[in-house]
Amino acid sequence: GAVVSQHPSWVICKSGTSVKIECRSLDFQATTMFWYRQFPKQSLMLMATSNEGSKATYEQGVEKDKFLINHASLTLSTLTVTSAHPEDSSFYICSAKGRLGNTEAFFGQGTRLTVV
Amino acid sequence: GQQVMQIPQYQHVQEGEDFTTYCNSSTTLSNIQWYKQRPGGHPVFLIQLVKSGEVKKQKRLTFQFGEAKKNSSLHITATQTTDVGTYFCAVLLRRAGGTSYGKLTFGQGTILTVHP
**Per residue in B41-56, pLDDT tens?**
999 999 999 999 999 9
Q: Is there a contact between A108 and B102 if contact means CB atoms under 8 Å apart?
A: no
CB distance B52 to B68 below 8 Å:
yes
pLDDT of residue B1: 60
**What's the pLDDT band for A1 if we cut at 50, 70, 90?**
low
Cβ neighbors of A52 (< 8 A, separation 6 or more) are A30, A31, A32, A71, A72, A73, A74
Average per-residue pLDDT in chain A? 91
| Nearest Cα to Cα of residue A94 among A28, A38, A54 | A38
CB distance A100 to A50 below 8 Å:
no
The alpha carbon of residue B90 is apart from the nearest alpha carbon of chain A, in Å, by: 10
Q: Does A104 touch chain B (CB under 8 A)?
A: yes
Q: Does A9 touch chain B (CB under 8 A)?
A: no
| Averaged pLDDT for residues A47-56 | 88
| Averaged pLDDT for residues A23-33 | 88
Q: Does A82 touch chain B (CB under 8 A)?
A: no
| Averaged pLDDT for residues A18-35 | 91
Contacts of A100 in chain B (CB under 8 A): none
pLDDT in tens, A86-97: 999 999 999 987
pLDDT of residue B101: 67
Give just the sign of the alpha carbon dihedral A15, A35, A30, A71.
negative
Q: How remote is the C-alpha of A41 from its chain's centroid?
A: 19
Please tell me what DSSP assigns to residue A42. Answer: S
pLDDT of residue B71: 97
Q: How many CB atoms lie within 10 A of CB A87?
A: 8
Q: Return the higher-pLDDT residue of A32 and A67.
A: A67
pLDDT of residue A54: 84
pLDDT of residue B96: 61
Buried b (16+ CB within 10 A) or exposed e, B54-82: beeeeeebbbbbbeebbbbbbebeebeee
Strands A67-73 and A10-13: unpaired
Q: Is there a contact between B102 and A32 if contact means CB atoms under 8 Å apart?
A: yes
Query: Is residue A88 helix, strand or coil?
Result: helix
What is the rounded distance in angstroms from the CA atom of residue B35 to the CA atom of residue B100? 17
Q: Is there a contact between B45 and A110 if contact means CB atoms under 8 Å apart?
A: no
Number of H helices, E strands in chain A: 0, 11
| Averaged pLDDT for residues A74-91 | 96
pLDDT > 90? residue A28: no
In this prediction, the residues of chain B whose per-residue pLDDT falls under 50 are none
CB distance A50 to A34 below 8 Å:
yes
Q: Is there a contact between B42 and A108 if contact means CB atoms under 8 Å apart?
A: yes
pLDDT of residue B84: 98
Q: Which of B48, B92, B107 sits opposite A43 (nearest CB)?
A: B107
Q: Is there a contact between B42 and A101 if contact means CB atoms under 8 Å apart?
A: no
